Amino acid sequence: MQHDAIIVGGGFAGLAAATYLARARRRVRVLDTGRPRNRFAEESHGFLGQDGSDPLKILAAAREQLLAYPTVKLIEAEAKTARVLDKAFAVGLADGDEIEARKLILAFGLRDELPDLPGLKARWGTTVLHCPYCHGIEFSDQELGVLYSSPLSVHQASLIADWGPTTLYLNGAELADADAAALAARQVKVEPAPVAGLIGERSALSAIELEDGRRCSTAALYVAPRSFFNSPLAEHLGAEIDEGPLGPMVRTDADKMTSVPGLFAAGDIARMPHSISWAVADGVTAGTSAHRALVFG
């Protein structure tokens, strides 16, 4: 067997899993495409000891520290296929090579499908945001907006009202009476008109432009986009997948093992909600669980 464990994905969850396996002196191969989900954000907040740091710099330091362990190899490669062997796994790479390991950890992350509105994608990660805990206090007491995408947006708007005066932009959707009452109780304004686009200099946001020509002053717009797996490997391996509120999630137990014995999943693909801190914690769980499975499995 070439490796004790293969980790597909070199983001926060994957590197955390690899670090703990490396410290257990196990042979680990990490496959990474270099496109972390939060690469659009210049700063990451809420991660203990790294508040306000560039997430790409955090990852670069983590990779450097990981590679100090002699049993780890990290390569820039895309895992294209995966199959279950007898008490092991084989992963096929884009270059046609195939590597094998006794355990496999999926941490390939998600991609976000953003609403198709002029000016929105260019501001993703700066003034168009998802998580108020990650990027909320920086816009304190300014005019904030939430773009309706599902009933979950009502919950999102009610929560974000703690950071500043908030407007829920229905963008032509209809609102249930109970939801309207809940928003009113939180002093969230509701704008029913369809949204035409976002206005502002470069990545800054100054206003939401409505199709009727009005412009509503807004410093940050929160969205809850649908998310999808960056890789089909979980499906290829027959892992059970649940439909979460914003997209698919690989089903795992408390040890981050999937429905396939010896196959683990960590990070955004296997949990809701998402953050760097949770991804790292899940990676630690997957890494230590995989090590125990190597010893006792």
Give yes or no: residues 142 and 230 share one domain.
Answer: no
Give yes or no: residues 197 and 287 share one domain.
Answer: no
**Alpha-carbon torsion 19, 21, 26, 28, what sign?**
negative
| Structural domain range at position 121 | 115-222
User: Which pLDDT score, from 0 to 100, does residue 111 have?
Assistant: 95
Give yes or no: residues 148 and 279 share one domain.
Answer: no
Q: How far is it, in rounded angstroms, from Cα 219 to Cα 182? A: 23
Work out the burial of residue 236: count CB atoms within 10 Å of its CB; fewer than 13 is exposed, 13-18 middle, 19 or more buried.
Answer: middle
Q: How far is it, in rounded angstroms, from Cα 246 to Cα 224? A: 7
Q: How far is it, in rounded angstroms, from Cα 190 to Cα 210? A: 13
Give yes or no: residues 197 and 130 share one domain.
Answer: yes
Domain boundary among 188, 222, 256: 222
User: Which pLDDT score, from 0 to 100, does residue 37 have?
Assistant: 87
Q: How far is it, in rounded angstroms, from Cα 250 to Cα 162? A: 32
Give yes or no: residues 132 and 217 share one domain.
Answer: yes
Who's near 44: CB < 8 A, 6+ residues apart? 38, 50, 51, 52, 53, 54, 55, 58, 134, 276
Domain boundary among 191, 222, 253: 222
Is residue 50 within 8 A of residue 12, CB to CB? The reply is no
Measured CA to CA in angstroms, residue 284 lies from 168, 222, 273 at distances of 37, 30, 17
Using only C-alpha atoms, the chain has a radius of gyration, in whole angstroms, of 21
CATH number at residue 157: 3.50.50.60
User: Which pLDDT score, from 0 to 100, does residue 38 have?
Assistant: 84
Is residue 221 within 8 A of residue 200, CB to CB? The reply is no
Give yes or no: residues 51 and 80 share one domain.
Answer: yes
- CA 182 to the chain's CA centroid: 28
3-state secondary structure the chain: CCEEEEEECCCHHHHHHHHHHHHCCCCEEEEECCCCHHHHCCCECCCCCCCCECHHHHHHHHHHHHCCCCCEEEEECCEEEEEEECCEEEEEECCCCEEEEEEEEECCCEEEECCCCCCCHHHECCCEECCHHHHCHHHCCCCEEEECCCCHHHHHHHHHCCCCCEEEECCCCCCCHHHHHHHHHCCCEEECCCEEEEECCCCCCCEEEECCCCEEECCEEECCCEEEECCCHHHHCCCCEEECCCCEEECCCCCCECCCCCEEECHHHHCCCCCHHHHHHHHHHHHHHHHHHHHHC
Domain boundary among 171, 203, 222: 222
Give yes or no: residues 106 and 243 share one domain.
Answer: yes
Q: How many domains does the chain have?
A: 2
Q: How far is it, in rounded angstroms, from Cα 239 to Cα 219? A: 42
Give yes or no: residues 138 and 217 share one domain.
Answer: yes
pTM recorded for the entire structure? 0.94
> pLDDT tens digits for the chain (297 residues)?
689 999 999 999 999 999 999 999 999 999 999 998 888 888 889 999 999 999 999 999 999 999 999 999 999 999 999 999 999 999 999 999 999 999 999 999 999 999 999 999 999 999 999 999 999 999 999 999 999 999 999 999 999 999 999 999 999 999 999 999 999 999 999 999 999 999 999 999 999 999 999 999 999 999 999 999 999 999 999 999 999 989 999 999 999 999 999 999 999 999 999 999 999 999 999 999 999 999 998
Is residue 226 within 8 A of residue 219, CB to CB? The reply is no
Quick one: CA torsion of 267, 270, 273, 279, rounded to 10 degrees?
Answer: -10
Token look-up 């983590």 returns: 62
Query: Which residues are bridge partners to 106 per DSSP?
Result: 8, 265
Give yes or no: residues 238 and 94 share one domain.
Answer: yes
Give yes or no: residues 180 and 108 share one domain.
Answer: no
User: Which pLDDT score, from 0 to 100, does residue 1 have?
Assistant: 64
